[in-house]
Structure formats: structure tokens, C-alpha cells
Structure 1
Amino acid sequence: MNVDALGQAVVDGAGPEELARHEVPADYYASYIHQDDVDMFRGVADKDVRKSLRLGRVPMPELAPDEVLVAVMAAAVNFNTVWSAIFEPLPTFQFLKHLARRGKWESRHDQPHQVVGSDAAGVVVAMGDGVRGGWKLGDHVVVSPSYADDQDPLVQDDSIKAGTLAWGFETNFGSFGHYCVVRSSMLMRKPAHLSWEEAAANPLCAGTAYRMLVSDHGARMKQGDVVLLWGATGGLGAYGVQFVKNGGGIPVGVVSSPAKEQLARDLGCDVVINREELGMAGYDGLDPGRTMEIGRRLGKIIRSQVGQDPDIVYDYVGQKTFGVSVFVAKAAGTVVTCGSSTGYQHQFDNRYLWMRVKRIIGSHGANMREQLDCNRLIERGRIAPTLSAVYPLAEVPEAVRLVQTNTHTGKVGVLCLAPSEGLGITDPVLRERIGEDRLTLFRRAT
């Protein structure tokens, strides 16, 4: 895994002038999937992502006028890379072909390989001649994963409504490499008190959680709201817990093990419930009677602890939990969902939705305004990273496998160009004020 001259200059801390003297390499080291492998898991029970995620050098694309080349110091794993690597629910090469129809610059994405990954922190090393916003070589940045079409009029209202794509999932040139290509409109300042790997862990999950719970486009959580969060120590769940607590709500977390119970309490959950207490072992979410039984048991526990049913249910688990979510939300309450990691086909008793005037809100990613508001909270130390483990880039397949098998907590990080953990901190005073115990909670719990 040889590092080219430009990448080495970044690692050595070169300033803007020195970075400008280095040529952008013709290719770079990355983890990617290949279209030749899309049928490899047909008829296979265990679709092991370690078999489909390749490692090697890929061609460097030409930068569009509004794009920036970022030397990736660290990245993080999201479940969308699992979907990419098992080629389900459909191969993401179809997304690349669809994107390529938009025109010249988008056509670069349609390659036989796709560099995956949707979270990154790094250094700006090259820019297209149309980049605005005050960005310069050497800037330390994190990347919003929302890839928006700025020529779509709907973007002026909300880029998500305009069909924003997930960078590194529905686009190419993602974060699992020595470099990534992003639009300048996707850049945010890196929180100065965080290391590269801590900063990389935040954008996708924290931004998604912010939109789901806080934004006008989501559940519009109020102070005092009781919020039930499935998977409270997972990547999305752990940020959700923090936003609820930070906003004056009452987080009720559901977890899957005794070890995660204590972590959820340390994170800020007022109430912690183990799924085993609910009789959910092996449940697929498709038995109406059992759904109601679980819902009644869950509702009784929550009412005994906080005195009421949940105002908001935060569900990214999907098929196994969604029927219970609809049942257990209070009358006129809200279920907000952003994904379905256990299956897309949700079954629920609609009487408990319409007769009790509940709402279901679909939420997907975050627009740039939401990402910036979220990043501001991270910069001020109000929201902490949920990084639990870190792998080198050469072991991306193992890192993604950890997420695929749900044997992780929080977020799993990847060191790309950064030679070791703990680098990139430029405001140690703020870090000390926030406290290592808070910033490294998930590292110490695993």
C-alpha cells in the first residue's frame, strides 16, 4: 500500500504552497467493488462482504469545476456499504449508470469499479476552477454524504426532496481510499478537537439523526418528549440518544445485550430495555399477534418508568420492529424511520395508526443546512463521536463484516492515509474541557 508523493506530503503536514507543487497521481489505492462480482452471492446463505470488497489501485478521475479532491485521512463504515458489497437490494452499479445519464461530468461515475464509503475526514489537496466558498488547499474538512443536484429547483427548498444521492453508495469515488472526490458544496470544517478517525465517524449518522429528530423535516422533538430508540447503541441510535438528551427529551433505549445496557445508560438513556425482556429473540416482525404482545409488554415497561407512551419512536431497524413501533407510539404520536436493516417489508396493524391519529415520517439523510447545524453542535462538544473500533484501510473488508454481522457498537472507523490513531487534533484545549471520558466512551466500552 505505497503512498504517493502528494499523500505523503499530507501525512507530513505540508502547507498549501507545498501541496500545490505536487501533482495529483494518476491512480490511487482504495477499497472497491467490481461489476464482475454482482452474481457471486446468488444462492449463497452467508453473503460475506469480505469476498466482494476488493483492494487495489483505481484510476484517478478528472475533477469537475465544482469538485474538490480530498486526501482521506480517515473514513467510517455505514450499513450502505454492506448493501453495496452484497449487491442487494440491487447492484449499486445501476445507480452509477443512472447518474451517468445526467451529462459529461456525471458520466465519469459509470465505471466497472465503485469506490464505496460515505464518511470521510481529510485534507483538501486539489480544487476545480469553479470552487467557491473560501476553501483552500490544506483545509481540514469532513464530508457531508449528501450529493445534491444544485440545478434542480427543488434544492432551493430541501435538497432531500430533490432526490439527493448518497455519496459513495449511489455515486462513485467514495471514502475508502487514499483520496475521494466530492462537490465543494459537501464540505464542512473538521471539528478541531477531534482526531481524524473521530471526525470521520460523525457526518452520515449524526446528520441523519438530526433530521429525523430535530429538523422541521423530521419529528420536531420538543423538550420533555419521550423518545423510544431502537438500537440505542448502534451508529444511528447512539447519535439519536444524544440529540434527545441534548434537546431536553427523555431517551428510552432498546438494546440487545447486557454490555450495551450499561453503554446506553452512560450515553444518557433515562430508561434502558433489553430486547430479550420483550420476547423478541428470533422474531421476524410478521406475526400480528406476537407484535401486539411485544408492544403491550414494551408499553407497560415504558409507562412504569416515565409515566406515558412514547411521543416519538425512532426506528431504523425495519421489518422486525416497525409493527411494534406503530403500536407503541402514543395517540397522535410519531414514528420516524430512515432505514430497514432487517427488511423492507413492514407489517403493522393500521387501526393503531389511523384511529389513534399517529404519523409515520420517512427521513433520508440530511440536507446541507441540517448537516451544518449538526456539525456546529459537534464542534462545540455538545454531540460526541460514537467511534468504537478502528481498522487500517487494508482491512476494510473486516471492518464492513463487523457491521454486516451487527457485532459492533456505534461506528467503526478506518484509517486511510493517517498512519495511526489520535492525529489531527488542533484544539487540545477544547478537547480537555469536553473530557476524554465523554469523547472516548465507545472505545472504552468495547
Structure 2
Amino acid sequence: MSDLLQAVVAGAEPEELLSLDLPSSYRAAYLRREDAGMFEGRTDKDVRESLHVGEMAMPELAPDECVVAVMSAAINFNTVWSAIFEPVPTFAFLEKLGKQGWHGGRHDLPYHQLGSDASGVIVRVGSGVKNWRVGDKVVISPSHVDEEDHASYDDGMLTETQLAWGFETNFGALGEFCLVKANQLVPKPAHLSWEEAAASTLCAATAYRMLVGRHGAQMKQGDTVLVWGGTGGLGSYALQFVKNGGGIPIAVVGSQEKADLVRAQGCEHVINRSELDLPDNSFRSPKAGRILGQAVRSLVGEDPQIVFEYLGAETFPASVYVAKRGGRIVTCGSSTGYHHEYDNRFLWMRLKRIIGSHGFNYHEAVETNRLIGRGMIHPTLSRVYTLDDAGEATRAVQTNEHVGKVAVLCAAPSENLGIDAPELRARIGEERINLYRDWTARHSRATAPEPLAAASAR
């Protein structure tokens, strides 16, 4: 560990951090361009084989950027996509970015530092950065937006230059240091630990935009909202936003244990899909939509005004069918497949709308963080790994061996550090903040994925 990183961990003052040199290299989790075809023809594309942990060169800082010492990061599904090189190898994104002059050229390398969620401490600021200082504690929004693009002044997500940090850019979250634009930085919620703070931004702000913001479904008080995958990274935050905003959440989960978890989170109405008599155990047929609709009406007496979608091909036919006349299906992903087939009659004849939502803009990230900082929305962190085990952490998400979010300690030497507002934390209650972690500790599976024999030729 470099002198600078040791000083950050020790809580050094800004003056001391500035007096210490940036290291020329640091440890990070990365992919190699040369491995891009390694999974061709294979069924199980084990991300532990493609993810490596080792030294990376410190990138040069641009005027509008900051270097952040990463205390903790989190795993998102885009890290899984990156590590299996699908739908395209992310090196294609880096190559495209590399054509945009010196700024972009720094990213086009034969290795790719992954990760789109992080918490940490600013250790360097570029000459053009105005509102951030060395020593500030931050979380990072993964929306990488060019502030000179005119569309960003309406909605940063509408710019043609918008990128997902750590997925379509290099120098992401999974390392001892990362490189970010200043307009990605948000103050760290003071009552949370490093790993709790790192686990929220991407999924929570994505759910905020889908449900609350003016670009999404614009949920109002009393709206019934069906949330697929209620204990997933996105679903676990969606349920909170629905409840917090005066809506009526209905969670779809896959087991009784998960049903108990979302009820403990405050979701009264739960559908356990394993208890539904589905044709071929699938939601793809019209009959499955009718079965789901009956289950919803038996719980709340009406069809949902909003369906919160991110699973895609497996669930989309039922989502279109089950939404109320005039209702909205808001979607941000397709983790079970991108090609959706549904009966269009149930869309046009019943005046429903499909709303596409992708990520979130800077304002939405700040608004989401404000709710988290006030203790109105809570992290759904369930597991914590070390940087050396970043491959195992990503494998847990790849194989769905988790609930909520999975974090990785990067520079933080242990869990439960970085809490600066213990009084607020006590008022909120450890049982709320640690709900998913405590549940996982009680329900940890008897068998976890076997580690690779070569567990890493890291």
C-alpha cells in the first residue's frame, strides 16, 4: 500500500494528503484485451477466469477530473457483462473513446479497470475543478457526461456522449484508486460505512429515475407498483421508493425466505413465483399473465398502475398483460434476454405505455443521495468481499447467489469503517441499515460456488 493510501486509511488531513506523491501504480481488478474470445463456445462463462487483480499504471489527470482513493466498491451486472465480454467486449467502447483526443486516448489500453459504484476520499483535483477539495469523502455517480454537450443541460442521459463509468470507460471503481469527472461526485452519507455507501448509487438512483423522476413513470401517492425481483439490487431499492412515496408496492420473489425479507423491509404484498402454477414455470405465455394478474388483484384488489421491469424476455409479456388500463411499464434492462415478445393488443387497445429508462442524470443522483443521507432510503448490502476476491464477488452476482448488493473492500482494511454520524445511525437503527446483511448471515447457503483451483493467477 502506498504512503498516500496509508494516509487516507489513517484519516490524514488534506494538507498531508497533498504533501504525499501519487503512486505510479496501484492494485485493481481488470480485464485483458487478449482474453476477449476466451469464452467462445462455452456454456458456463465463469467470470473468475477473466477477472484479474494486479498492478495498473496511474492515469494522468485532466482539468475536469479527480483522483479518488477508493475505500469500497460494489458489483453491478454491468461488471458481469464486461467479464464475459458480452454483448460486446468493453474494449470496443474503450477503442471508440480513444478516438476522442487526449482525454479519451488515456482509456484505450490493453487492460480495463472495471466497476461503476464506489465510495472514497478525493486525493487530487484537476485545475478546472471548483467545488471539490482534497480530503472530501464522496460516493461516485457512474454517469459520465460531457458538460459541454448542449443536451446535458436538459437531461444528461439524453446526450450522445453519455457513458457508463467503469463499463464504457476505464479506471473504474474496482481498484485502490479511480479516475472520475468532477460532475460524478456526490457527498458520502455520513452515517454509512464505506461499504454501505458504495453499494447504493447505481441501483438506487436508477430506481429513482424509473419511479420518481420526471423522466420515468412519475409515481403518485396510492399507485400500485409491481416490482419484479424484489430482493435484487434494483428491486430492493424500488420497493423502498414506492413505500416512501406513498405507493403500494407488490414484490415478486422466488422463495418464501425472500418473501420474508421484503416483508421485513416493509412490503406488505408479496407474490412468491414458486407458488404460482405457471405453464412451463415461465411468465412468457398469456396464461401466465392471467395467473399473475389474479394474484395481484387478490392482494390489492386492482391491477398495477406501474410495472417495474428490468428482467426482460422472461417477464416482459406478463408485465405488458398485467399493467392496468392506461398503466405504465418502465424498463431499464433485460437480464434474462433482450428480445421481448408480447401480445401488442394488450398494449395499444388498453392504452398502456412502455417507458425506456437508462441510468440517471447528476441531479437524480444527488436527489437519491439526499434521501439516503437523511435515512429515508437504506442500503441493501448483503455481502462484502476483499479486492483480491473481486472475481468471487462478481461470480456471486453472475450466478444470483446473493440478495441486494455485493460490495468489495478496496483500500478500507475492514468493514464498518468511515461512519461519521453515529447519532443519526443510532436513530435510524442498525436493524434497518443491516437488514440484508443480517438476513444473509442467517440464510447463507450451505453450498457456495466452488473457487477455481487456480483462483487466480491474479
TM range (shorter): over 0.9
RMSD: 1.0
- Please give the residue correspondences for 1:21-420 in structure 2 after superposition, counting only pairs within 5 Å: 21-133=19-131, 135-163=132-160, 164-279=162-277, 283=281, 291-420=285-414
In the superposition, relative to structure 1, how do residues 39 and 307 fare at CA in structure 2: closer, same or farther (>3 Å)? same
In the superposition, relative to structure 1, how do residues 283 and 104 fare at CA in structure 2: closer, same or farther (>3 Å)? farther
Q: What are the Cα deviations for residues 130-158 of structure 1, in whole angstroms up to 9, with x where unaligned?
A: 1111x111110000010001111100100
Query: Offset at 1:282?
Result: 6.4
Q: What are the Cα deviations for residues 215-257 of structure 1, in whole angstroms up to 9, with x where unaligned?
A: 0000000000000000001000000000000000000000011
Distance in 1, Cα, partners of 2:179 & 2:167 = 13
Query: Offset at 1:421?
Result: 0.3
Distance in 1, Cα, partners of 2:19 & 2:186 = 25
Distance in 2, Cα, partners of 1:443 & 1:119 = 18
Query: Offset at 1:280?
Result: 5.0
Distance in 2, Cα, partners of 1:283 & 1:166 = 34
Equivalent pair of 1:283/1:320 in contact (CA under 8 Å): no
In the superposition, relative to structure 1, how do residues 16 and 264 fare at CA in structure 2: closer, same or farther (>3 Å)? same
Distance in 2, Cα, partners of 1:307 & 1:324 = 18
Q: Which of these residues, 427, 433, 445, is aligned with residue 427 of structure 2?
A: 433
Q: What are the Cα deviations for residues 276-316 of structure 1, in whole angstroms up to 9, with x where unaligned?
A: 1234586566x5xxx21111111111111111000000011
| Unmatched tracts of structure 2, length 5 or more | 441-458
- In structure 1, what residue type is equivalent to 2:48? R
What's the counterpart of residue 449 of structure 2?
none
Distance in 2, Cα, partners of 1:316 & 1:67 = 32
| Unmatched tracts of structure 1, length 5 or more | none
Equivalent pair of 1:67/1:127 in contact (CA under 8 Å): yes
Distance in 1, Cα, partners of 2:182 & 2:279 = 46
- In structure 1, what residue type is equivalent to 2:81? W
Query: Offset at 1:190?
Result: 0.2
Matched residue SS, 2:94: helix
In the superposition, relative to structure 1, how do residues 193 and 116 fare at CA in structure 2: closer, same or farther (>3 Å)? same
Matched residue SS, 1:109: coil
- In structure 2, what residue type is equivalent to 1:411? K
- In structure 2, what residue type is equivalent to 1:310? P
Equivalent residue pairs, number: 439
- In structure 1, what residue type is equivalent to 2:312? G
Equivalent pair of 2:240/2:377 in contact (CA under 8 Å): yes
TM-score normalised by structure 1 residue count: 0.97
Q: What are the Cα deviations for residues 360-380 of structure 1, in whole angstroms up to 9, with x where unaligned?
A: 001011000111011000000
Q: Which of these residues, 11, 17, 20, is aligned with residue 18 of structure 2?
A: 20
Distance in 2, Cα, partners of 1:268 & 1:228 = 15
